[in-house]
Amino acid sequence: MDRLNFADPVFATYAVAASIMILKAVAMSWLTVVAMIRENGGFRNPEDAKKTPFNPKPHAHQLEPNARVERFRRIQLNDLESLPYFLVAGLLFVLTSPSLVLAQWLLYGFVVTRLLHFAAYATAQTHDVRSLLWTPGSLILIFITGRVLFFGIGWM
């Protein structure tokens, strides 16, 4: 496919946006672990509260939910609810031959909204603020998926 190579600036735009989103999703796992270490808790498995070189003084409270750790888990779950859709829809969107400017606005726009949503979630902003940052990304997904659908059925 001629569109799926880095010589195509639209595909390159998608590749950059997708890579940023994948790295952000992977970073969430690390942020969760860092929170668990800092809080010395939020562990989920009974074996995690056993004495080891990394846990020299285990206690039962380590298995209780921890607000900070759970916040990062919720952020990660939120990513896992949208990232797969973005990766697939974005790649299919590239195949519709959008203009470079449109692709950059939409694909990078999605990335920006997800990064801002992360910042809002991590700093405990209200649901109103988070939803204002989540909504544009969701609308971008709907738009690019609609474009793919219209191309697929021959309406564009």
* pLDDT, one tens digit for every residue, the chain (156 residues): 577 889 999 999 999 999 999 999 999 999 999 999 999 999 999 998 899 998 898 888 999 999 999 999 999 999 999 999 999 999 999 999 999 999 999 999 999 999 999 999 999 999 999 999 999 999 999 999 999 999 999 887
DSSP string of 17-61, one letter each residue: HHHHHHHHHHHHHHHHHHHHHHHT----SGGGGS-BTTBSS--GG
Give the DSSP H or E segment for 119.
helix 109-122
Is residue 43 in a domain?
no
Determine, yes or no, domain membership for 39: no
- pTM equals 0.90
What pLDDT is recorded for position 1?
56
What residue numbers bound the domain in which 75 lies? 9-26+68-152
Helix, coil or strand: residue 64 = coil
Q: How far apart are CA 9 and CA 149, in angstroms?
A: 22
Q: What is the pLDDT of residue 106?
A: 98
The number of residues making up the chain comes to 156
Q: Is residue 100 part of a domain?
A: yes
Decide if 107 is inside a domain. yes
What does the pLDDT read at residue 48?
Answer: 87
Q: Are 97 and 10 in contact (CB under 8 A)?
A: yes
CATH of the domain at 18: 1.20.120.550
Count how many domains the chain has. 1
Q: Is residue 35 part of a domain?
A: no
Domain presence at residue 44: no
CA distance 72 to 156: 41
- Do the beta carbons of residue 36 and residue 48 sit within 8 Å? no
Domain membership flag for residue 49: no
Q: How far is CA 92 from the centre of its chain?
A: 18
CA distance 66 to 46: 15
Residue 95 in any domain: the answer is yes
